[in-house]
Structure 1
Amino acid sequence: MAGAGSEFAPDSGLLRRAPVQQRSTERLERILDACAQLLDEAGYERLSTRAVAARAGVPIGSVYRFFADKRAMADALAHRNLDDFLGRTAARLAAPEAGTGWRAAVEILVDEYTAMKRTAPGFALLDFGVPGESNHDLAERLPALLGDRLPADPQQPRVRLALTVAVEAADAALQLAFRTDPAGDPQLVAETKQLLLAYLATVLD
């Protein structure tokens, strides 16, 4: 299911046809929910549009109305995951107890990511993109999320590169944490935070 308070608005480039009516939007959400559930159960390689249609309780034509194939469907789910993650993180950052500065933001980003890894259907395998692909979209959207917490101009090439490297490094380290322990090895999660804080300090301090 989409995260609480999520306002998922799929990029029209991800869909064959964007939903217009509420009924179509709800059907699209059911399809993506079914996709997420089946990813957990069978993995990406065994995912199929027919299985998703059956799980969602919709005709196969409804799936193809929105998606050309399973890759397009997975891309849309990854987009929803990213929107959910950014929404959850923004809410945490806005809370009075969130602290200030980029270091507190790094802690929150890692905490929200690990929380979604543990609880969000399909997220453990897919998170923000088809397995094996980069996390470019997350890196691109971090400056807007961090806002004034980011003490350097995100348009500077060195800063943009550092954010991309940080995201990719965090992804690799946290994948290791969840391979070591299905709930996310606490020591490896803590080490991931330290890695990010030490590396980003070379650019942001």
Structure 2
Amino acid sequence: MNDRTPGVPSVTVRNEPVQARAAHRIEALLDAAAAVVEEHGIEHLTTALVAERAGASIGTVYRYFPDRVAVLVALAERNLERMRFAIERVLVAEHESWVDAMEAMVAAMVETFREVPSFRALRTGEGLDLGPQDRDPVAPLFVDDLAGYLHERWGVTLDTERRERLELGIGGLDALVTYAFLHDPDGDPRYLAFGLQLAHEQLDGLIPVARDA
């Protein structure tokens, strides 16, 4: 669906291009940042804590990230990549119907919340306070991914109305899954079930030709 390569960080850092050794160092720093966020929360993340957790000097952190916000942005970008890869793995599999594919995507989304450190707290960074900057909404990215999948797999091209319906379905599902994990590391099953129900109501029948293909 795209030309991104798993395992290669697509994060915003100070020094580019990122060579192999630097890429591994960045990954280690982001792993440390994710652990700090998981244990202490976003508001308590500092570059000093990242350095301590990674067993690195503060100078090493500053070599790649000018401040704590840059660390959070990079971590959020990595989270986004991991969510997209999880869904892409679903989309390359064979599904008998669009509904089956949709349910598998929801399962992949839930698994990402459960398994990726920091995802529950940070997600893809849309809630980050970056001052005058804004994090772009991520739902349109997933709409583009799914629109490409629907065209390639089912031969369906979405018109404007159906794209908007798909975006609303993704946004509503994301909000419910996020809330399900707000206080429950495994996800409150009531809200997860409601999220799946919403996905069915909003998206089931969206592409009737694809479902019967």
Same fold (TM over 0.5): yes
1:99 to 96, 102, 107: 96
Residue 191 to residue 141, structure 1, CA distance change in 2 (3 Å): closer
Q: How far did 1:25 drift?
A: 0.8
The within-5 A match list for 1:25-36 is 25-36=23-34
Evaluate the alpha carbon distance shift between residue 124 and residue 146 of structure 1 in structure 2; reply closer, same or farther with a 3 A threshold: same
Match of 2:122 in 1: 126
Per-residue deviation, residues 119-145 of structure 1 (Å, max 9, x unmatched): 211111112115368772243243224
Counterpart for residue 109 of structure 1: 105
Q: Compared with structure 1, are the counterparts of its residues 56 and 99 closer, same or farther at alpha carbon in structure 2 (3 Å cutoff)?
A: farther
- C-alpha offsets along residues 93-144 of structure 1, whole Å, 9 cap, x if unaligned? 2223x3332x333212221121121121111111211536877224324322
Amino acid at match of 2:194: E
Map of 1:144 onto structure 2: 145
Higher helix proportion: 1
Q: 1:16 to 1:157 in 2, by over 3 A?
A: farther
Equivalent of 2:35 in 7, 30, 37: 37
Contact 1:129–1:135 under 8 Å retained in 2: no
Q: Distance in 1 between matches of 2:202 and 2:108?
A: 20
CA distance 1:8–1:107, shift in 2 (3 Å): farther
Cα displacement string for residues 43-93 of structure 1 (whole angstroms, at most 9, x for unaligned residues): 011110110011111221221222222122111111111111211221222
CA displacement 1:176-196 (0-9 Å, x = unmatched):
222364311223212211212
Alpha-carbon contact 1:125-1:131 (below 8 Å) kept:
no
Pair 1:198 & 2:195 matched? no
Paired positions, count: 195
TM value normalised by structure 1: 0.81
CA distance in 2, matches of 1:147, 1:32: 30
Q: Does 1:51 align with 2:49?
A: yes
Paired with 1:175 and 1:80, the residues of 2 have a C-alpha distance of: 18
Q: What is the rounded CA distance, in whole Å, between the counterparts of 1:125 and 1:19 in structure 2?
A: 29
Q: Which runs of 5+ in 2 are unaligned?
A: 130-134, 209-213
- Give the structure-2-normalised TM-score: 0.78
Determine the structure 1 residue equivalent to 2:10.
10
Gaps of 5+ in 1: none
Cα pair 1:81 1:123 within 8 Å, conserved = yes
Quick one: which amino acid aligns to residue 199 of structure 2? L
Question: Kindly tell me: are residues 173 and 112 of structure 1, through their superposed partners in 2, closer, same or farther at Cα, counting changes over 3 Å?
Answer: same
Partner amino acid, structure 2, of 1:94 = V
